[in-house]
């Protein structure tokens, strides 16, 4: 038996498999909710300049958990709490402690039944389009109610819990406002880039770009659409 030939064949097969896996990957992430919660790691893992290339869509938390990140087609929308109010900027120089992102050239509209309006129903609907890989999606339209928060972590606090994260910073509720929502769906990344009780992680921005943050809960009106990445 030619062991040298077999070794070369296995090596080439391994290289091909790795390359194929990388080419098929559509959603990328750096940092994780687990490392934040269990290790208290809120350092900056990646700058937005590194992630943003062509048709980049992403969301996450700023370095130090000092705000929320939303990226829509290369345009960053950074929301921070300043003097107990939301401050929006578009800087790409900042770093993220958690960032999940994708590069999307085209989106595909999906049919939304009349019964789908609430967040749990949207998650169930998106599950019908899920396979083994995560994907990003966009919701555009008018909300009936949208509960949100922008995290503003206390310096030096090393005890992380989901409740403290949700209650840290600024919270609010929108009614009858038009929004753009970006989300990521995955059944395999709970505790990584989705919370332990959900297969989705979603952020929003109002159509006038004055309010942006993490979506805690949402109910849409009849006037909305959902698109998923191709």
Model confidence pLDDT, tens digit, residues 174-200: 999 999 999 999 999 999 999 888 999
Check residues 5 and 71 and name the one with the higher pLDDT. Answer: 71
What digits encode the pLDDT tens for the residues 114-141?
999 999 999 999 999 998 899 999 999 9
Residue of 147, 150, 135 lying closest to 226 (CA atoms): 135
Q: Are strands 135-150 and 107-110 parallel, antiparallel or unpaired?
A: unpaired
For tokens 């687990």, name the residue. Answer: 34
How much of the chain exceeds pLDDT 70, in percent?
Answer: 90
184 occurs within a structural domain: yes
- Indicate whether 72 pLDDT > 70: yes
- Indicate whether 219 pLDDT > 60: yes
- Indicate whether 161 pLDDT > 70: yes
CB-CB contact of 148 with 216 (8 Å): yes
176 occurs within a structural domain: yes
| Domain containing residue 116: CATH number | 3.30.1330.80
49 occurs within a structural domain: yes
The rounded distance, in Å, linking the Cα atoms of 48 and 161 is 26
State the chain's mean pLDDT as an integer.
89
90 occurs within a structural domain: yes
Phi/psi at 9 (nearest 5 deg)? Answer: -65, -45
The count of domains in the chain is 1
18 occurs within a structural domain: no
The rounded distance, in Å, linking the Cα atoms of 116 and 106 is 24
Which pLDDT band holds residue 27 (cuts at 50, 70, 90)?
Answer: very high
Range of 113's domain? 29-229
46 occurs within a structural domain: yes
Which pLDDT band holds residue 20 (cuts at 50, 70, 90)?
Answer: very low
Which pLDDT band holds residue 18 (cuts at 50, 70, 90)?
Answer: very low
- Average pLDDT rounded to a whole number, residues 198-214: 97
CB-CB contact of 203 with 59 (8 Å): yes
- Average pLDDT rounded to a whole number, residues 57-83: 97
The rounded distance, in Å, linking the Cα atoms of 125 and 110 is 10
8 occurs within a structural domain: no
Residue of 89, 77, 88, 91 lying closest to 182 (CA atoms): 77
For tokens 């097969």, name the residue. Answer: 13
34 occurs within a structural domain: yes
């Amino acid at each position: 038996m030619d062991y040298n030939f077999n070794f070369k064949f296995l090596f080439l097969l391994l290289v091909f498999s790795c390359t194929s896996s990388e080419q098929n990957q559509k959603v990328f992430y750096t940092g994780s909710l687990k490392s934040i919660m269990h290790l208290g790691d809120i350092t900056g893992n990646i700058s937005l300049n590194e992630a943003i290339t062509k048709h980049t869509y992403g969301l996450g938390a700023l370095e130090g958990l000092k705000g929320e990140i939303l990226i829509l087609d290369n345009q960053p929308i950074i929301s921070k709490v300043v003097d107990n109010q939301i401050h929006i900027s578009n800087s790409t120089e900042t770093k993220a402690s958690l960032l999940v992102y994708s590069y999307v050239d085209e989106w595909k509209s999906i049919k939304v039944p009349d019964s789908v309006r609430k967040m749990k129903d949207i998650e169930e609907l998106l599950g019908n389009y899920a396979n083994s890989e995560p994907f990003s999606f966009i919701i555009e339209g008018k909300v009936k109610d949208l509960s949100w928060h922008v995290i503003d972590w206390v310096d030096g606090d090393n005890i992380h819990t989901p409740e403290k994260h949700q209650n840290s910073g600024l919270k609010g509720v929108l009614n009858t406002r038009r929004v753009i929502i970006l989300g990521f769906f995955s059944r395999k990344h709970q505790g990584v880039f989705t919370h332990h009780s959900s297969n989705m992680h979603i952020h929003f921005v109002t159509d006038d770009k004055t309010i942006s943050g993490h979506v805690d809960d949402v109910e849409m009106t009849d006037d909305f659409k959902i698109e998923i990445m191709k």
